[in-house]
Chain A
Amino acid sequence: MERSKKVKFITGLVITAVVLIMAVWGMIKTPYDPYTMDTSAKFAGVSFRHVFGCDQFGRDIFSRVLVGVRETMFISACVVFIGAFLGTVIGTVTGYFGGWLDEFLMRINDALLAFPSVLLALVVIGLFGSGKYQLIVALGIAFIPSFARIVRGEVLKIRNLDYINAVKLYGASNFRILVVHILPNLKTVLLSSIIIGFNNAVLAEAGMSYLGMGVAPPNPSLGRMLSEAQTYIFSSPLAAVFPGIVIAFMILGFSLLGDTVGK
Protein backbone atom coordinates (compact mmCIF):
# COMPACT_ATOMS: atom_id res chain seq x y z
CA MET A 1 0.00 0.00 0.00
CA GLU A 2 1.22 3.47 -0.75
CA ARG A 3 1.57 5.91 2.09
CA SER A 4 -1.53 8.06 1.62
CA LYS A 5 -3.64 4.93 1.34
CA LYS A 6 -2.14 3.57 4.52
CA VAL A 7 -2.93 6.78 6.37
CA LYS A 8 -6.52 6.64 5.10
CA PHE A 9 -6.90 2.99 6.02
CA ILE A 10 -5.58 3.44 9.55
CA THR A 11 -7.65 6.58 10.16
CA GLY A 12 -10.74 4.75 8.92
CA LEU A 13 -9.98 1.79 11.13
CA VAL A 14 -9.49 3.95 14.23
CA ILE A 15 -12.69 5.93 13.60
CA THR A 16 -14.72 2.78 13.01
CA ALA A 17 -13.28 1.23 16.17
CA VAL A 18 -14.31 4.32 18.17
CA VAL A 19 -17.81 4.10 16.65
CA LEU A 20 -18.08 0.44 17.59
CA ILE A 21 -16.90 1.20 21.13
CA MET A 22 -19.58 3.88 21.36
CA ALA A 23 -22.19 1.40 20.14
CA VAL A 24 -21.13 -1.21 22.68
CA TRP A 25 -21.04 1.44 25.39
CA GLY A 26 -24.59 2.40 24.40
CA MET A 27 -25.54 -1.25 24.71
CA ILE A 28 -24.14 -1.75 28.21
CA LYS A 29 -24.58 1.38 30.27
CA THR A 30 -24.69 5.06 29.49
CA PRO A 31 -23.45 7.76 31.91
CA TYR A 32 -27.04 8.98 32.42
CA ASP A 33 -30.33 7.35 31.68
CA PRO A 34 -31.11 8.57 28.14
CA TYR A 35 -34.83 8.91 28.89
CA THR A 36 -34.86 10.66 32.27
CA MET A 37 -35.94 14.25 31.91
CA ASP A 38 -34.52 16.87 34.18
CA THR A 39 -36.10 20.29 33.88
CA SER A 40 -33.29 21.90 35.86
CA ALA A 41 -30.78 20.77 33.21
CA LYS A 42 -32.82 22.01 30.25
CA PHE A 43 -30.41 23.06 27.47
CA ALA A 44 -27.50 22.75 29.87
CA GLY A 45 -24.28 23.64 28.11
CA VAL A 46 -21.15 21.56 27.75
CA SER A 47 -19.67 20.65 31.12
CA PHE A 48 -17.80 17.82 32.79
CA ARG A 49 -21.09 16.37 33.94
CA HIS A 50 -22.74 16.63 30.54
CA VAL A 51 -19.96 16.49 27.92
CA PHE A 52 -22.35 17.22 25.03
CA GLY A 53 -24.81 19.24 27.09
CA CYS A 54 -28.53 18.54 27.51
CA ASP A 55 -31.57 18.72 25.21
CA GLN A 56 -34.93 20.49 25.50
CA PHE A 57 -36.12 18.04 28.18
CA GLY A 58 -32.86 18.12 30.11
CA ARG A 59 -31.80 14.69 28.92
CA ASP A 60 -28.05 14.07 28.65
CA ILE A 61 -27.15 14.37 24.97
CA PHE A 62 -24.01 12.26 25.22
CA SER A 63 -25.96 9.33 26.66
CA ARG A 64 -28.59 9.73 23.98
CA VAL A 65 -25.91 9.88 21.31
CA LEU A 66 -24.42 6.60 22.58
CA VAL A 67 -27.80 4.88 22.36
CA GLY A 68 -28.37 6.56 18.99
CA VAL A 69 -25.09 5.18 17.66
CA ARG A 70 -26.11 1.75 18.90
CA GLU A 71 -29.47 2.01 17.15
CA THR A 72 -27.96 3.33 13.94
CA MET A 73 -25.35 0.58 13.90
CA PHE A 74 -27.98 -2.07 14.61
CA ILE A 75 -30.29 -0.82 11.86
CA SER A 76 -27.39 -0.40 9.41
CA ALA A 77 -26.11 -3.90 10.13
CA CYS A 78 -29.57 -5.40 9.53
CA VAL A 79 -30.00 -3.33 6.37
CA VAL A 80 -26.61 -4.30 4.97
CA PHE A 81 -27.24 -7.92 5.88
CA ILE A 82 -30.60 -8.02 4.08
CA GLY A 83 -29.18 -6.17 1.08
CA ALA A 84 -26.01 -8.25 0.87
CA PHE A 85 -27.71 -11.59 1.49
CA LEU A 86 -30.62 -11.21 -0.92
CA GLY A 87 -28.46 -9.28 -3.37
CA THR A 88 -25.91 -12.09 -3.39
CA VAL A 89 -28.60 -14.72 -3.89
CA ILE A 90 -30.22 -12.82 -6.76
CA GLY A 91 -26.89 -11.81 -8.29
CA THR A 92 -25.46 -15.32 -8.14
CA VAL A 93 -28.53 -17.03 -9.56
CA THR A 94 -29.06 -14.55 -12.39
CA GLY A 95 -25.37 -14.30 -13.19
CA TYR A 96 -24.80 -18.04 -13.18
CA PHE A 97 -27.89 -19.30 -14.94
CA GLY A 98 -28.65 -16.33 -17.20
CA GLY A 99 -31.62 -16.74 -19.50
CA TRP A 100 -34.99 -15.02 -19.36
CA LEU A 101 -35.05 -14.84 -15.55
CA ASP A 102 -31.80 -12.91 -15.66
CA GLU A 103 -33.17 -10.58 -18.34
CA PHE A 104 -36.37 -10.01 -16.39
CA LEU A 105 -34.85 -9.50 -12.96
CA MET A 106 -32.06 -7.29 -14.22
CA ARG A 107 -34.55 -5.02 -16.01
CA ILE A 108 -36.33 -4.44 -12.72
CA ASN A 109 -33.01 -4.25 -10.90
CA ASP A 110 -31.68 -1.56 -13.21
CA ALA A 111 -34.90 0.39 -12.95
CA LEU A 112 -34.62 0.29 -9.15
CA LEU A 113 -30.90 1.02 -9.21
CA ALA A 114 -31.59 4.33 -10.91
CA PHE A 115 -33.36 5.47 -7.74
CA PRO A 116 -31.57 6.72 -4.67
CA SER A 117 -32.08 4.41 -1.71
CA VAL A 118 -33.79 7.08 0.40
CA LEU A 119 -36.45 7.44 -2.27
CA LEU A 120 -37.03 3.70 -2.50
CA ALA A 121 -37.17 3.45 1.27
CA LEU A 122 -39.75 6.24 1.39
CA VAL A 123 -41.93 4.26 -1.03
CA VAL A 124 -41.75 1.18 1.18
CA ILE A 125 -42.41 3.27 4.30
CA GLY A 126 -45.35 4.78 2.42
CA LEU A 127 -46.69 1.26 2.06
CA PHE A 128 -45.99 -0.20 5.48
CA GLY A 129 -45.90 2.86 7.71
CA SER A 130 -42.93 4.11 9.74
CA GLY A 131 -41.06 2.53 12.63
CA LYS A 132 -37.76 0.83 13.38
CA TYR A 133 -38.51 -2.54 11.78
CA GLN A 134 -40.34 -1.04 8.84
CA LEU A 135 -37.27 1.13 8.28
CA ILE A 136 -35.01 -1.93 8.34
CA VAL A 137 -37.18 -3.69 5.77
CA ALA A 138 -37.52 -0.56 3.67
CA LEU A 139 -33.81 0.21 3.53
CA GLY A 140 -32.91 -3.47 3.26
CA ILE A 141 -35.03 -3.77 0.11
CA ALA A 142 -33.59 -0.53 -1.20
CA PHE A 143 -30.07 -1.94 -0.77
CA ILE A 144 -30.66 -5.17 -2.71
CA PRO A 145 -30.25 -3.86 -6.27
CA SER A 146 -26.71 -2.53 -5.89
CA PHE A 147 -25.47 -5.75 -4.28
CA ALA A 148 -27.25 -7.84 -6.91
CA ARG A 149 -25.62 -5.86 -9.70
CA ILE A 150 -22.11 -6.10 -8.26
CA VAL A 151 -22.37 -9.81 -7.43
CA ARG A 152 -23.88 -10.63 -10.82
CA GLY A 153 -20.99 -8.92 -12.59
CA GLU A 154 -18.45 -10.80 -10.52
CA VAL A 155 -20.20 -14.15 -11.01
CA LEU A 156 -20.30 -13.58 -14.76
CA LYS A 157 -16.58 -12.94 -14.71
CA ILE A 158 -15.81 -16.07 -12.68
CA ARG A 159 -18.25 -18.26 -14.59
CA ASN A 160 -16.36 -17.68 -17.80
CA LEU A 161 -12.98 -18.64 -16.35
CA ASP A 162 -11.37 -21.77 -17.73
CA TYR A 163 -11.24 -23.63 -14.48
CA ILE A 164 -15.00 -23.49 -14.01
CA ASN A 165 -15.34 -25.16 -17.39
CA ALA A 166 -12.81 -27.75 -16.32
CA VAL A 167 -14.76 -28.46 -13.13
CA LYS A 168 -17.91 -28.79 -15.23
CA LEU A 169 -16.18 -31.35 -17.42
CA TYR A 170 -15.50 -33.40 -14.33
CA GLY A 171 -19.23 -33.51 -13.78
CA ALA A 172 -19.61 -31.19 -10.81
CA SER A 173 -23.20 -30.14 -10.17
CA ASN A 174 -24.31 -26.54 -10.54
CA PHE A 175 -24.89 -26.36 -6.81
CA ARG A 176 -21.37 -27.56 -6.06
CA ILE A 177 -19.84 -25.15 -8.54
CA LEU A 178 -21.77 -22.27 -6.99
CA VAL A 179 -20.96 -23.10 -3.39
CA VAL A 180 -17.42 -24.43 -3.69
CA HIS A 181 -16.01 -22.50 -6.62
CA ILE A 182 -17.93 -19.28 -7.09
CA LEU A 183 -19.11 -18.04 -3.69
CA PRO A 184 -15.65 -18.05 -2.05
CA ASN A 185 -14.36 -15.91 -4.90
CA LEU A 186 -16.89 -13.19 -4.09
CA LYS A 187 -15.23 -12.47 -0.73
CA THR A 188 -13.13 -9.49 -1.73
CA VAL A 189 -15.79 -7.80 -3.76
CA LEU A 190 -18.39 -8.39 -1.05
CA LEU A 191 -16.15 -7.08 1.70
CA SER A 192 -15.64 -3.71 0.05
CA SER A 193 -19.31 -3.51 -0.98
CA ILE A 194 -20.38 -4.23 2.57
CA ILE A 195 -18.20 -1.47 3.96
CA ILE A 196 -19.52 0.97 1.37
CA GLY A 197 -22.97 -0.42 2.19
CA PHE A 198 -22.48 0.57 5.83
CA ASN A 199 -21.46 4.04 4.73
CA ASN A 200 -24.67 4.37 2.71
CA ALA A 201 -26.83 2.69 5.34
CA VAL A 202 -25.74 5.07 8.10
CA LEU A 203 -26.40 7.99 5.78
CA ALA A 204 -29.82 6.64 4.77
CA GLU A 205 -30.84 5.72 8.31
CA ALA A 206 -29.87 9.13 9.62
CA GLY A 207 -31.73 10.79 6.74
CA MET A 208 -34.84 8.71 7.27
CA SER A 209 -34.93 9.24 11.01
CA TYR A 210 -34.30 12.95 10.42
CA LEU A 211 -37.50 12.86 8.38
CA GLY A 212 -39.23 11.11 11.28
CA MET A 213 -39.50 7.80 9.45
CA GLY A 214 -37.35 5.73 11.78
CA VAL A 215 -37.13 4.81 15.45
CA ALA A 216 -40.18 6.13 17.30
CA PRO A 217 -39.82 8.68 20.10
CA PRO A 218 -38.82 8.81 22.89
CA ASN A 219 -36.12 6.33 21.77
CA PRO A 220 -33.06 8.30 20.73
CA SER A 221 -31.94 8.28 17.12
CA LEU A 222 -29.21 10.50 15.76
CA GLY A 223 -31.28 11.79 12.84
CA ARG A 224 -34.28 12.73 14.95
CA MET A 225 -32.11 14.35 17.61
CA LEU A 226 -30.94 16.65 14.83
CA SER A 227 -34.43 17.50 13.67
CA GLU A 228 -35.67 18.07 17.24
CA ALA A 229 -32.70 20.25 18.10
CA GLN A 230 -33.30 22.26 14.96
CA THR A 231 -36.47 23.64 16.50
CA TYR A 232 -34.36 25.23 19.22
CA ILE A 233 -31.48 26.18 16.99
CA PHE A 234 -31.72 29.87 17.87
CA SER A 235 -31.38 29.29 21.59
CA SER A 236 -29.10 26.26 21.79
CA PRO A 237 -27.33 25.38 18.57
CA LEU A 238 -24.98 22.86 20.20
CA ALA A 239 -27.75 20.31 20.73
CA ALA A 240 -27.91 19.93 16.94
CA VAL A 241 -24.18 20.05 16.35
CA PHE A 242 -23.10 17.02 18.40
CA PRO A 243 -25.42 14.37 16.93
CA GLY A 244 -24.59 15.73 13.47
CA ILE A 245 -20.86 15.48 14.06
CA VAL A 246 -21.26 11.91 15.27
CA ILE A 247 -23.19 10.96 12.12
CA ALA A 248 -20.51 12.54 9.93
CA PHE A 249 -17.83 10.80 12.00
CA MET A 250 -19.42 7.39 11.42
CA ILE A 251 -19.76 7.97 7.70
CA LEU A 252 -16.18 9.26 7.49
CA GLY A 253 -14.83 6.08 9.06
CA PHE A 254 -16.70 3.79 6.71
CA SER A 255 -15.91 5.85 3.64
CA LEU A 256 -12.19 5.86 4.45
CA LEU A 257 -12.25 2.08 4.91
CA GLY A 258 -14.36 1.59 1.79
CA ASP A 259 -11.88 3.63 -0.23
CA THR A 260 -8.97 1.46 0.79
CA VAL A 261 -10.19 -2.07 1.47
CA GLY A 262 -10.17 -4.47 -1.46
CA LYS A 263 -8.80 -1.93 -3.93
Chain B
Amino acid sequence: MKYVLKKVTTMLITLFVVSVLVFFSFSLIPGNPALSKLGTEATPERLAALEHEMGLDKPVVERFGEWFVGVLKGDFGRSYSYNQSVTSLLKEKIATTLILSVMAIVICVVISLPLGIFMARKSDSKLDIALSAVNQIIMSIPSFFSGIILTLIFGITLKLFTPGAYVPYHSDFLKCIGYMFFPALAIALPKISMVSKLLKDTVIKEAGKEYVRTAYSRGNATKAVFYRHVLGNALIPVITFLGMTFADIIAGSIIVEQVFSVPGLGRILLTSISGRDYPVIEAIIRLLAFFVVLSNLIVDLLYHKFDPRIHV
Protein backbone atom coordinates (compact mmCIF):
# COMPACT_ATOMS: atom_id res chain seq x y z
CA MET B 1 0.00 0.00 0.00
CA LYS B 2 2.82 2.32 0.99
CA TYR B 3 4.43 1.43 -2.31
CA VAL B 4 1.32 2.36 -4.28
CA LEU B 5 1.08 5.67 -2.43
CA LYS B 6 4.69 6.47 -3.12
CA LYS B 7 4.35 5.65 -6.80
CA VAL B 8 1.20 7.76 -7.16
CA THR B 9 2.97 10.67 -5.48
CA THR B 10 5.92 10.37 -7.85
CA MET B 11 3.50 10.29 -10.74
CA LEU B 12 1.78 13.48 -9.58
CA ILE B 13 5.12 15.22 -9.07
CA THR B 14 6.24 14.21 -12.55
CA LEU B 15 3.01 15.52 -14.04
CA PHE B 16 3.38 18.77 -12.16
CA VAL B 17 7.01 19.18 -13.28
CA VAL B 18 6.00 18.50 -16.88
CA SER B 19 3.08 20.95 -16.63
CA VAL B 20 5.29 23.70 -15.26
CA LEU B 21 7.94 23.06 -17.89
CA VAL B 22 5.39 23.06 -20.69
CA PHE B 23 3.60 26.17 -19.47
CA PHE B 24 6.72 28.25 -19.04
CA SER B 25 8.32 27.07 -22.26
CA PHE B 26 5.21 28.18 -24.11
CA SER B 27 5.19 31.54 -22.31
CA LEU B 28 8.73 32.14 -23.48
CA ILE B 29 8.02 31.68 -27.15
CA PRO B 30 8.84 34.75 -29.16
CA GLY B 31 5.84 36.13 -31.03
CA ASN B 32 2.43 37.25 -29.87
CA PRO B 33 -0.36 34.71 -30.36
CA ALA B 34 -2.95 37.51 -30.34
CA LEU B 35 -1.10 39.23 -33.13
CA SER B 36 -0.80 36.09 -35.19
CA LYS B 37 -4.49 35.38 -34.68
CA LEU B 38 -5.53 38.80 -35.95
CA GLY B 39 -2.98 38.77 -38.74
CA THR B 40 -3.47 41.62 -41.18
CA GLU B 41 -6.56 42.90 -39.38
CA ALA B 42 -4.49 43.97 -36.40
CA THR B 43 -4.96 47.48 -35.05
CA PRO B 44 -3.52 48.51 -31.70
CA GLU B 45 -7.04 48.66 -30.14
CA ARG B 46 -8.13 45.32 -31.48
CA LEU B 47 -4.82 43.78 -30.39
CA ALA B 48 -5.14 45.13 -26.86
CA ALA B 49 -8.73 43.94 -26.66
CA LEU B 50 -7.84 40.45 -27.84
CA GLU B 51 -4.83 40.29 -25.54
CA HIS B 52 -7.12 41.13 -22.66
CA GLU B 53 -9.64 38.56 -23.79
CA MET B 54 -6.96 35.87 -24.04
CA GLY B 55 -5.51 36.94 -20.69
CA LEU B 56 -2.13 37.76 -22.20
CA ASP B 57 -1.84 41.10 -20.42
CA LYS B 58 -1.54 39.53 -16.98
CA PRO B 59 1.83 38.61 -15.39
CA VAL B 60 3.14 35.12 -16.18
CA VAL B 61 2.79 33.80 -12.64
CA GLU B 62 -0.84 34.88 -12.42
CA ARG B 63 -1.56 33.29 -15.77
CA PHE B 64 0.06 30.08 -14.56
CA GLY B 65 -2.15 30.11 -11.47
CA GLU B 66 -5.32 30.62 -13.52
CA TRP B 67 -4.26 28.06 -16.02
CA PHE B 68 -3.45 25.51 -13.31
CA VAL B 69 -6.83 25.98 -11.63
CA GLY B 70 -8.44 25.61 -15.04
CA VAL B 71 -6.59 22.37 -15.71
CA LEU B 72 -7.70 20.97 -12.37
CA LYS B 73 -11.29 21.70 -13.43
CA GLY B 74 -10.68 20.02 -16.78
CA ASP B 75 -10.66 23.34 -18.65
CA PHE B 76 -7.77 23.54 -21.09
CA GLY B 77 -8.68 26.87 -22.63
CA ARG B 78 -9.84 27.63 -26.17
CA SER B 79 -8.20 26.74 -29.43
CA TYR B 80 -6.81 29.69 -31.38
CA SER B 81 -7.63 28.34 -34.82
CA TYR B 82 -10.80 26.34 -34.18
CA ASN B 83 -13.49 28.31 -32.49
CA GLN B 84 -14.15 25.80 -29.74
CA SER B 85 -12.80 24.73 -26.38
CA VAL B 86 -9.77 22.48 -26.40
CA THR B 87 -11.61 19.85 -24.37
CA SER B 88 -14.42 19.43 -26.90
CA LEU B 89 -11.94 19.55 -29.78
CA LEU B 90 -9.81 16.75 -28.39
CA LYS B 91 -12.40 14.42 -26.88
CA GLU B 92 -12.89 12.22 -29.91
CA LYS B 93 -9.24 12.27 -30.89
CA ILE B 94 -8.18 11.07 -27.45
CA ALA B 95 -10.47 8.07 -27.72
CA THR B 96 -9.17 7.31 -31.22
CA THR B 97 -5.52 7.41 -30.18
CA LEU B 98 -6.22 5.38 -27.07
CA ILE B 99 -7.97 2.67 -29.08
CA LEU B 100 -5.00 2.53 -31.42
CA SER B 101 -2.40 2.43 -28.62
CA VAL B 102 -4.23 -0.15 -26.56
CA MET B 103 -4.66 -2.38 -29.61
CA ALA B 104 -0.95 -2.08 -30.36
CA ILE B 105 -0.07 -2.98 -26.77
CA VAL B 106 -2.40 -5.98 -26.82
CA ILE B 107 -1.02 -7.21 -30.15
CA CYS B 108 2.53 -6.74 -28.88
CA VAL B 109 1.99 -8.68 -25.65
CA VAL B 110 -0.11 -11.43 -27.20
CA ILE B 111 2.46 -12.20 -29.90
CA SER B 112 5.79 -11.43 -28.24
CA LEU B 113 5.40 -13.49 -25.06
CA PRO B 114 4.65 -16.84 -26.74
CA LEU B 115 7.21 -16.06 -29.42
CA GLY B 116 9.92 -15.32 -26.86
CA ILE B 117 9.13 -18.51 -24.95
CA PHE B 118 9.18 -20.50 -28.17
CA MET B 119 12.54 -19.04 -29.18
CA ALA B 120 14.03 -19.76 -25.76
CA ARG B 121 12.88 -23.38 -25.87
CA LYS B 122 14.31 -23.84 -29.36
CA SER B 123 17.39 -21.83 -28.48
CA ASP B 124 20.43 -22.42 -30.71
CA SER B 125 18.43 -24.47 -33.18
CA LYS B 126 18.40 -23.42 -36.84
CA LEU B 127 14.83 -22.17 -36.40
CA ASP B 128 15.88 -19.92 -33.53
CA ILE B 129 18.78 -18.50 -35.51
CA ALA B 130 16.47 -17.77 -38.44
CA LEU B 131 13.85 -16.19 -36.18
CA SER B 132 16.50 -14.08 -34.44
CA ALA B 133 17.73 -12.78 -37.77
CA VAL B 134 14.19 -11.91 -38.87
CA ASN B 135 13.66 -10.25 -35.49
CA GLN B 136 16.76 -8.14 -35.89
CA ILE B 137 15.54 -6.92 -39.28
CA ILE B 138 11.98 -6.19 -38.14
CA MET B 139 13.38 -4.29 -35.17
CA SER B 140 15.14 -1.98 -37.62
CA ILE B 141 12.07 -1.11 -39.67
CA PRO B 142 10.49 2.09 -38.37
CA SER B 143 6.76 1.82 -37.77
CA PHE B 144 5.87 4.33 -40.49
CA PHE B 145 7.69 2.23 -43.08
CA SER B 146 6.20 -1.04 -41.89
CA GLY B 147 2.87 0.80 -42.05
CA ILE B 148 3.49 1.54 -45.72
CA ILE B 149 4.52 -2.05 -46.38
CA LEU B 150 1.38 -3.32 -44.62
CA THR B 151 -0.68 -0.93 -46.74
CA LEU B 152 0.99 -2.26 -49.87
CA ILE B 153 0.50 -5.90 -48.96
CA PHE B 154 -2.84 -5.99 -47.16
CA GLY B 155 -4.47 -2.85 -48.47
CA ILE B 156 -3.48 -2.65 -52.11
CA THR B 157 -2.50 -6.19 -53.10
CA LEU B 158 -4.76 -8.35 -50.91
CA LYS B 159 -7.48 -5.69 -50.51
CA LEU B 160 -8.17 -6.63 -46.88
CA PHE B 161 -8.77 -2.97 -46.04
CA THR B 162 -9.11 0.27 -47.95
CA PRO B 163 -6.17 2.58 -47.27
CA GLY B 164 -7.33 5.91 -45.96
CA ALA B 165 -10.92 4.81 -45.37
CA TYR B 166 -10.94 5.24 -41.60
CA VAL B 167 -14.23 4.49 -39.87
CA PRO B 168 -14.88 6.50 -36.68
CA TYR B 169 -15.38 4.34 -33.59
CA HIS B 170 -18.73 5.93 -32.77
CA SER B 171 -20.27 5.08 -36.13
CA ASP B 172 -19.17 1.44 -36.32
CA PHE B 173 -16.94 0.17 -33.54
CA LEU B 174 -16.14 -3.21 -35.09
CA LYS B 175 -15.27 -1.74 -38.48
CA CYS B 176 -13.10 0.79 -36.69
CA ILE B 177 -11.24 -2.00 -34.90
CA GLY B 178 -10.88 -3.83 -38.18
CA TYR B 179 -9.31 -0.78 -39.82
CA MET B 180 -7.12 0.00 -36.81
CA PHE B 181 -5.69 -3.52 -36.74
CA PHE B 182 -3.14 -2.69 -39.42
CA PRO B 183 -1.84 0.57 -37.93
CA ALA B 184 -1.74 -1.14 -34.53
CA LEU B 185 0.25 -4.00 -36.06
CA ALA B 186 2.66 -1.51 -37.65
CA ILE B 187 3.27 0.10 -34.27
CA ALA B 188 3.58 -3.26 -32.54
CA LEU B 189 5.92 -5.01 -35.02
CA PRO B 190 9.30 -3.60 -33.91
CA LYS B 191 8.21 -3.87 -30.28
CA ILE B 192 7.29 -7.52 -30.77
CA SER B 193 10.83 -8.23 -31.96
CA MET B 194 12.39 -6.40 -29.04
CA VAL B 195 10.19 -7.93 -26.36
CA SER B 196 10.48 -11.47 -27.70
CA LYS B 197 14.25 -11.14 -27.96
CA LEU B 198 14.49 -9.83 -24.41
CA LEU B 199 12.23 -12.57 -23.07
CA LYS B 200 14.30 -15.22 -24.82
CA ASP B 201 17.52 -13.82 -23.32
CA THR B 202 16.11 -13.57 -19.81
CA VAL B 203 14.63 -17.06 -19.97
CA ILE B 204 18.01 -18.47 -20.95
CA LYS B 205 19.70 -16.48 -18.20
CA GLU B 206 17.22 -17.58 -15.54
CA ALA B 207 17.39 -21.20 -16.64
CA GLY B 208 21.04 -21.29 -15.57
CA LYS B 209 20.34 -20.14 -12.03
CA GLU B 210 20.65 -22.28 -8.94
CA TYR B 211 17.00 -22.30 -7.92
CA VAL B 212 16.31 -24.11 -11.19
CA ARG B 213 18.57 -26.91 -10.01
CA THR B 214 16.61 -27.01 -6.77
CA ALA B 215 13.40 -27.28 -8.77
CA TYR B 216 14.81 -30.25 -10.70
CA SER B 217 16.01 -31.84 -7.47
CA ARG B 218 12.40 -31.92 -6.27
CA GLY B 219 11.43 -34.08 -9.24
CA ASN B 220 9.90 -31.41 -11.47
CA ALA B 221 9.64 -32.22 -15.15
CA THR B 222 11.35 -29.80 -17.55
CA LYS B 223 8.04 -28.19 -18.50
CA ALA B 224 7.05 -27.68 -14.88
CA VAL B 225 10.43 -26.17 -14.07
CA PHE B 226 9.91 -23.76 -16.92
CA TYR B 227 6.36 -22.66 -16.21
CA ARG B 228 6.45 -22.79 -12.42
CA HIS B 229 9.90 -21.37 -11.80
CA VAL B 230 11.76 -19.88 -14.75
CA LEU B 231 9.02 -17.97 -16.53
CA GLY B 232 7.91 -15.80 -13.61
CA ASN B 233 11.46 -14.69 -12.93
CA ALA B 234 12.21 -14.13 -16.60
CA LEU B 235 9.17 -11.87 -16.97
CA ILE B 236 10.39 -9.33 -14.41
CA PRO B 237 12.84 -7.48 -16.69
CA VAL B 238 10.38 -7.88 -19.54
CA ILE B 239 7.74 -6.00 -17.55
CA THR B 240 10.14 -3.11 -16.98
CA PHE B 241 10.84 -3.03 -20.68
CA LEU B 242 7.16 -3.18 -21.55
CA GLY B 243 6.69 -0.08 -19.39
CA MET B 244 9.06 1.89 -21.57
CA THR B 245 7.54 0.30 -24.65
CA PHE B 246 4.07 1.58 -23.76
CA ALA B 247 5.37 5.14 -23.85
CA ASP B 248 7.02 4.42 -27.18
CA ILE B 249 3.81 2.94 -28.52
CA ILE B 250 1.90 6.10 -27.66
CA ALA B 251 4.55 8.16 -29.46
CA GLY B 252 4.54 5.66 -32.31
CA SER B 253 0.81 6.04 -32.73
CA ILE B 254 1.30 9.75 -33.48
CA ILE B 255 3.43 8.88 -36.49
CA VAL B 256 1.44 5.89 -37.65
CA GLU B 257 -1.83 7.84 -37.51
CA GLN B 258 -0.30 9.86 -40.30
CA VAL B 259 0.44 6.75 -42.40
CA PHE B 260 -3.09 5.38 -42.14
CA SER B 261 -4.95 8.71 -42.01
CA VAL B 262 -6.33 8.02 -38.57
CA PRO B 263 -7.69 11.30 -37.14
CA GLY B 264 -6.24 11.01 -33.63
CA LEU B 265 -4.13 13.16 -31.35
CA GLY B 266 -1.14 12.86 -33.66
CA ARG B 267 -2.82 14.50 -36.62
CA ILE B 268 -4.27 17.38 -34.66
CA LEU B 269 -0.93 17.84 -32.92
CA LEU B 270 0.78 18.23 -36.27
CA THR B 271 -1.80 20.67 -37.66
CA SER B 272 -1.65 22.63 -34.40
CA ILE B 273 2.12 22.82 -34.56
CA SER B 274 2.07 24.19 -38.08
CA GLY B 275 -0.84 26.52 -37.18
CA ARG B 276 0.85 27.60 -33.90
CA ASP B 277 -2.30 26.77 -31.98
CA TYR B 278 -0.55 26.79 -28.62
CA PRO B 279 -3.42 25.92 -26.26
CA VAL B 280 -4.08 22.78 -28.30
CA ILE B 281 -0.38 21.83 -28.44
CA GLU B 282 -0.02 22.35 -24.71
CA ALA B 283 -3.09 20.31 -23.92
CA ILE B 284 -1.99 17.44 -26.17
CA ILE B 285 1.48 17.36 -24.67
CA ARG B 286 0.07 17.25 -21.19
CA LEU B 287 -2.40 14.56 -22.18
CA LEU B 288 0.36 12.46 -23.72
CA ALA B 289 2.46 13.06 -20.62
CA PHE B 290 -0.45 11.86 -18.54
CA PHE B 291 -0.81 8.68 -20.59
CA VAL B 292 2.90 7.99 -20.47
CA VAL B 293 3.11 8.53 -16.73
CA LEU B 294 -0.05 6.53 -16.13
CA SER B 295 1.24 3.59 -18.14
CA ASN B 296 4.49 3.78 -16.17
CA LEU B 297 2.49 3.68 -12.97
CA ILE B 298 0.54 0.63 -14.09
CA VAL B 299 3.77 -1.12 -15.01
CA ASP B 300 5.34 -0.22 -11.66
CA LEU B 301 2.40 -1.72 -9.85
CA LEU B 302 2.52 -4.86 -12.01
CA TYR B 303 6.22 -5.07 -11.35
CA HIS B 304 5.58 -4.85 -7.66
CA LYS B 305 3.16 -7.74 -7.92
CA PHE B 306 5.60 -9.90 -9.86
CA ASP B 307 8.70 -9.15 -7.85
CA PRO B 308 8.25 -9.33 -4.08
CA ARG B 309 11.79 -8.05 -3.58
CA ILE B 310 10.76 -4.53 -4.56
CA HIS B 311 9.86 -2.61 -1.46
CA VAL B 312 9.30 1.13 -1.24
Q: Which residues of A contact B (CB under 8 A)?
A: 4, 8, 107-108, 110-111, 114-116, 118-119, 122-123, 125-127, 130, 203, 206-207, 210-213, 223, 226-227, 230, 233-234, 237, 240-241, 244, 247-249, 251-252, 255-256
Interface residues in B100-152 (C-beta closer than 8 Å to A):
129, 136-137, 139-142, 144-145, 148-149, 151-152
Closest to B124 in A: A4
Known: A211-B270, A237-B156, A248-B140. A107 touches B258 (CB 8 A): no
Interface residues in B255-279 (C-beta closer than 8 Å to A):
255, 258-259, 269-270, 272-274, 278
In the complex, the 4 A-B pairs of residues with the closest C-beta atoms, listed nearest first: A116-B251, A244-B145, A252-B140, A251-B140
Known: A111-B17, A118-B251, A227-B258. A247 touches B285 (CB 8 A): no
- Distance A127 CA – B140 CA, assembled complex (angstroms): 30
- Distance A237 CA – B155 CA, assembled complex (angstroms): 12
- Distance A203 CA – B278 CA, assembled complex (angstroms): 27
Known: A119-B251, A210-B258, A212-B270. A255 touches B18 (CB 8 A): no
Q: Which of A119, A249, A252 contacts B288 (CB 8 A)?
A: A119
Given pairs A123-B25, A206-B142, A237-B156, 6 additional interface contacts (CB within 8 A):
A115-B247, A126-B272, A126-B273, A127-B25, A241-B148, A244-B142
Closest CB in chain A relative to B3 CB, distance in Å: 18
Provide the residues of chain B in CB contact with A241, threshold 8 Å. 148-149, 152
- Distance A233 CA – B164 CA, assembled complex (angstroms): 12
Known: A107-B17, A114-B247. A226 touches B270 (CB 8 A): no
- Distance A22 CA – B99 CA, assembled complex (angstroms): 40
- Distance A130 CA – B145 CA, assembled complex (angstroms): 22
Known: A230-B148, A234-B156, A248-B140. A123 touches B254 (CB 8 A): no
Closest to A203 in B: B142
Provide the residues of chain A in CB contact with B163, threshold 8 Å. 233
B281 at the interface (CB under 8 A from A): yes
Closest to A243 in B: B145
How many residues on chain B are close to A (CB under 8 Å)?
A: 47
Provide the residues of chain B in CB contact with A115, threshold 8 Å. 247, 251, 288-289, 292
Q: Which of A118, A130, A249 contacts B255 (CB 8 A)?
A: A118
Closest CB in chain B relative to A104 CB, distance in Å: 10
- Distance A211 CA – B273 CA, assembled complex (angstroms): 11
Q: Which of A108, A130, A210, A249 contacts B144 (CB 8 A)?
A: A210
Known: A116-B247, A211-B255. A125 touches B273 (CB 8 A): yes
Closest to A124 in B: B25
Contact B140 A233 (CB under 8 A): no
B250 at the interface (CB under 8 A from A): yes
Closest CB in chain A relative to B248 CB, distance in Å: 5
B48 at the interface (CB under 8 A from A): no
